[in-house]
Chains A and B, each alone.
Chain A
Amino acid sequence: MPAQIVVVKRPRGGLFALVRSVPAWLRAAFLSDALAPSPRSAASRTRPRGVDATPAPESEASAPAAEPPDRDATLRAGLLERGGTLDRSREGMDRIEVAADEATPLLRWLREDASLGFDRLLDLTVIDRLDRGRSLEVVYFLAASASGERLRVHALLASDASEIATATLLWPAAGWLEREAHDLFGVRFRGHPGLQRILLPADFEGAPLRKDFVHQKPDSAGAPAPPEGGTV
C-alpha cells in the first residue's frame, strides 16, 4: 500500500478572518467541527519515490524524474576522467574513492551534472585508518533529491597533511559538519569561512576521535579515584 501525501490545512485569509471576528463561545459551539482538520478531504495525491516538492499540481507530469538508462556508465566514465574509482560496499550503495586534491572537481561534478544531480549533502565525517598504514578519509554522504539515489565519496588525505578543500561552496550544510570534523579529527578544511571548534571547548588540545587519542574510561587505572566519602 503506497503511502499517500496529504497537504495540511492552513487558515485561509477569508474564512480565517471571518472566524476571528466571531466570539469565542459561538466559535466553539458552531465552528469547531467545520475547522477540524480533515485529512480525508484534503487534496491527496500519490507521488513517485524520492524527494519531490509538492506545491504545484502542474509539476505532476514532470515529477517522475526519469533516470537516464546510462547513468551507471556516465558515472563510471566521469569518474575515470576525474581520478575516482567506483565500487559497491556490502549494502549496495555506490562508494567512490578519490585522492583529496582531486576531490573538489569530482564533488562539483556530482553536484552539478544534470544526469546525476547529487544536490544534498546528508553527512560528512572522517575515518582514521592511520594505524593500519593507510590515511585519514573524509567521507561525503550524498543524495540526489530528484532520483532519491545515494552514494558516498571517500576522499583519501595525503599521509603527511590532514588538509582538504572545503565543500561549503557546494553544500551549505557542510559548514558545521566540517567544523565538527575539524574539532574531533583535526582535519583542516581550506577555504572554510569559520573553522572553529564546535563541540569541544576552544582550549581543548588534541583530536579525540583519532585512533591515537587514548580514551580513558572512568574505571581504568589511570583515572583519578573519586573523593572518599564525598559526593561526586
Chain B
Amino acid sequence: MSAAPESSASRTLSERLGFPEAVVELGHTHPSVRRAMAGAGGTLSFLVTLDDDRIEALEVEIGLGHRGFEKEVESRPWHEALPYVARLGYASGPIAQVGYCLALERLAGQGVPERATWLRTLVCELARITDHLARIAALSTAIGASAAERVAQHGEVVAMQLLVAAVGGSPLGSWAQPGGVACDLPADFGEVWVRSRSELEAALERIAVLLLDHPTAAERLVDVAPLGADACLAFGVTGPCLRAAGVAFDLRRDAPYLAYGELDFDVPVGERGDDYDRLAVVVEEVRQSLRMGEQCLHRLAALERSPGCLGSMAPGRLVVPAGEVTASIETSTGELGFFLASDGSDLPRRIRCRAPSFFHAQALPAALVHAHLDDLLPTAALFHLVSGECDR
C-alpha cells in the first residue's frame, strides 16, 4: 500500500471506499488453478492482494509437491537417479533424462554412438512439442478459448503418441541411459511421423487463427503481464519467456549439445515480453521442432542400425571418478542444468538440478503486479510452472 496519498486519485479503490484490502487465496485445490496449470495442478498456491480486480501484491507458494528429489538421488548409485529425473517434467521427462545422462557421461568420460545422439535429439523435440501444446491448451483453458483448447489438446495427444512410439512406452520410463538409449524407433515410425506431422501442422494453423489472429483472444494477451529483458535476466528467467522479451538466447543455438549444431532451425523472439509474445514464440517453436524432427529422421534413415548403435547398456558398471561437471540443456520451460559432484565413491556427493520453473515462479509477481486478476492464470500457464522440477 503506498504511503501518504496526495489526492484521492492516487489512492487505491479499497482506500477510497474505506474497505480493507482484499486478500484472496487461489489455493492449490481451487478448480481454476487445477484446470489452468497443466504441469502444476494441485501443488501451486497463489496469495493475491487485490485492489478491486487489480493485483496489488502476489505471493507464489511452492513446495506442496516437494518429494526430496535431490536427497533421494544422492542416496543411491548414479544411474538409479534416472526414474526420478524423468519425473521432473510431465512430457519433458525424456529431456531431463537426456540432460542428466549428458552430465553423467561427461563426468564418467563415456562416449555416445552417433545414432543414439540423433535419437535423443529427435525425442527431445517430440517432448518439446508435447509440452508446448499442453501449455497452449492450459492457456486456452485459462482465457476460456474452448475451441483452441480442444485443438491444442488434440495436438498434444498426437504428439504424445509420437513420443510414446519413439521411446517404446511411457515417457516416464528410463529410455535415455548413460552411454546411449534403451530402444530404437519402431519400423513404421516414418509413416506415423508423416501422418502426425500434417495433423500437427494443421493444429498450429488453427491455433494461429483461434488465438494469435483472433481479436478477442489477442485482446486477452497483448500487453498483458510484460516482463522485459532486464527483469528476465535479473530473475533468471529462461526459455520461451526470455526469448519473448527479445533476448535471443537458446542453448540449442548458443551452446549446442546433442546434434543441434548440425540442425537448421530458427530461434523465434518477441519484442515486449507480454503474454502475446510468449504465446507467439511457443507456437513458432513447435513449428521449428517439427522442422528439426524431420531433419533428425532424414539423418537417422542414413545411419545404419548396427549392433551397439544404441550405446552401452550396462549402467551399473559405470565408473565415476572424482570431479565436478555441469550440463545445461534447453527444455520446453527453459534452461535445465545439472551439477554433479563426485568424490570417487559409489554414492554421489551432490546432484543439483537447476529447475527453470523455480525461477519462473519467483519472477511471476514482477510480471503480474497491477495486472487484472483474470490475467494471473493465463500468465502462469505461459510461464510453464512444472511442479515436478519447481518443488523437486
Contacts and interface: CB of A to CB of B under 8 A. Distances in A.
Binding partners A and B: yes
Interface of A: 1-11, 16, 19-20, 28, 32, 35-37, 39, 44, 47, 49-55, 89-91, 93, 95, 119-123, 125, 127-129, 132, 139, 141, 145, 148, 150, 152, 171-173, 175-176, 180, 184, 197-201, 208-209, 213, 215, 217
A5 B266 contact: yes
A9 B280 contact: yes
Nearest to A171: B234
Contacts of B253: 2-3, 49
B281 A8 contact: yes
Nearest to A22: B215
Nearest to A1: B264
Given A11-B218, A16-B218, A145-B233, 6 more contacts: A4-B265, A5-B248, A9-B212, A145-B249, A209-B71, A217-B75
10 contacts: A9-B212, A10-B222, A10-B280, A11-B218, A54-B269, A55-B271, A122-B335, A127-B349, A197-B63, A200-B66
A127 B208 contact: no
Interface stretch (B28-36, B85-93, B116-124, B352-360): B352-360
A1 B63 CA distance: 42
B248 A215 contact: no
B154 interface: no
Nearest to B354: A123
* Chain B interface, >50% SS class: mixed
A8 B277 contact: yes
Nearest to A128: B350
Given A90-B106, A91-B326, A139-B339, A10 B277 contact: yes
A213 B72 CA distance: 12
B232 to A, nearest CB: 10
Given A16-B215, A36-B205, A176-B362, A4 B267 contact: yes
A208 B68 contact: yes
Contacts of A129: 343, 349
A141 B63 CA distance: 23
Interface in B213-238: 213, 215, 218, 222, 229, 233-236
Given A5-B269, A141-B337, A37 B323 contact: no
A4 B234 contact: no
Given A95-B324, A123-B352, A3 B63 contact: no
A29 to B, nearest CB: 12
B254 A11 contact: no
B350 A127 contact: yes
B268 interface: yes
Interface in B322-355: 323-326, 328, 335, 337, 339, 341, 343, 349-350, 352, 354
Nearest to A4: B266
B267 A123 contact: no
A209 B70 contact: yes
B215 A1 contact: no
Interface in B152-190: none
Nearest to B283: A37
B267 A5 contact: yes
Contacts of A173: 234-236, 359, 362
A152 B328 CA distance: 14
Contact of B254 (A49, A119, A139, A184): A49
Contact of B271 (A7, A35, A44, A122): A7
A152 B247 CA distance: 23
A133 B194 CA distance: 59
Contacts of B236: 120-123, 171, 173
A148 B335 CA distance: 14
Nearest to B282: A8
B246 A3 contact: no
Contact of A36 (B208, B254, B255, B335): B208
A35 B63 CA distance: 42
Contacts of B272: 10
A36 B255 CA distance: 31
A201 B64 CA distance: 9
Contacts of A128: 350
A58 to B, nearest CB: 14
A93 B63 contact: no
Nearest to B359: A173
A32 B209 contact: yes
A20 B324 CA distance: 57
A3 B267 contact: yes
A112 to B, nearest CB: 14
Nearest to B263: A1
B339 A123 contact: yes
- Residue of A3, A50, A51, A201 with most partner-chain B CB within 10 A: A3
Contact of A54 (B68, B218, B246, B362): B246
A93 B323 CA distance: 12
A50 B248 CA distance: 8
B391 interface: yes
Nearest to A93: B326
B252 interface: yes
Given A16-B218, A91-B325, A8 B247 contact: no
Contacts of A122: 236, 328, 335, 337, 354
- Residue of A8, A50, A215 with most partner-chain B CB within 10 A: A8
B326 A176 contact: no
B287 A39 contact: yes
A34 to B, nearest CB: 9
Nearest to A176: B362
Given A16-B215, A121-B236, A55 B246 contact: yes
A179 B293 CA distance: 40
Nearest to B349: A127
B324 A32 contact: no
